[in-house]
Amino acid sequence: MWLIISDTHVGDRQANRNLPSLFALLEEFSQKDCTLVINGDAFDFSKFLGFDERHRLFLSAIQKFKNVVYIEGNHDWFVSGLRDVFPNISFKKKMILRINNNIIKIAHGHETDSAVMRHPALARTFTRINKWIYELIGIDIQHWLRKTWLVQRFLLQKQEKKLVRMESQANIIIAGHTHRPCKRMIYDTLYYNAGDWVEASHRAYVLIHDDGEIELVILRGSK
């Protein structure tokens, strides 16, 4: 079994309220014969340059898994420094599974985000400005923009379609980055997005069972 989580953004103050349910999920699945796949942006070094109790608890939770695959995202600025510290974590850019004649590609998804890939310094500057505004007046501009119809329709959906075209050899794609938990067909490819752990209604994960069955689980109700 593979447990895929994405965009936990540990270090982002807005994600703090969802950490108890995240830690409970990790504790539950660490007791099973399960490989944990962290599909990018586990840490949010763009908003918090350092480690505190949140990071320690997260690292302690994932260390309970026998096998951990870490797919680096666009907010994981310094995660490569963990390579020598945690030898049971396998760091990858992407992951491919072949189960029951299906080719399953797991990728964070920022590869098709032109702002991140073509103008990384500008993207990081905007993220820092957004952090300062959030700390001053409590408004997260990135979070607000991501929920608007224009961004959803003309930016995030476009990125997801570009990812499917880019990974055309796969017939199933599991991604993150756009923070939109979903299961749908894009062209002839079955596309899953594992959501995020920043917004309470987006707390989600994807399970790949040993028989090849895939399910998207979105947590509802209390945190």
Q: What is the pLDDT of residue 12?
A: 79
The percent of residues above 90 in pLDDT, for the chain, comes to: 42
- Average pLDDT in the 101-107 region? 94
Listed in order, strand segments (DSSP E) in the chain are 2-5, 35-39, 67-71, 89-92, 94-99, 102-107, 172-175, 182-186, 189-193, 204-208, 214-218
- CATH number of the structural domain 2-218: 3.60.21.10
Q: For residues 135-162, give the mean pLDDT.
A: 73
pLDDT in tens, 105-144: 999 988 777 655 565 666 667 677 777 777 787 767 676 6
Distance CA 51, CA 33 (A): 29
pLDDT of 182 reads 93
What single DSSP character describes residue 101?
T
Per-chain mean pLDDT for the chain: 84
pLDDT confidence of residue 15: 77
Whether the per-residue pLDDT at 169 is higher than 80: the answer is yes
Is the pLDDT confidence value at 145 over 50?
Answer: yes
pLDDT given at position 222? 47
More confident residue, 138 or 8: 8
pLDDT-based confidence at 74, cuts 50/70/90? confident
How far, CA to CA in Å, does 93 sit from each of 6, 36, 69, 81? Answer: 14, 15, 10, 15
pTM: 0.85
212, burial (CB in 10 Å: exposed 0-12, middle 13-18, buried 19+) = middle
Instruction: Quote the pLDDT of residue 75.
Output: 73
Q: Is 119 helix (H, G, I), strand (E, B) or coil?
A: coil
Local confidence band at 195 (pLDDT 50, 70, 90 cut-offs):
very high
Weakest-pLDDT range from 5-9, 99-103, 109-113, 160-164? 109-113
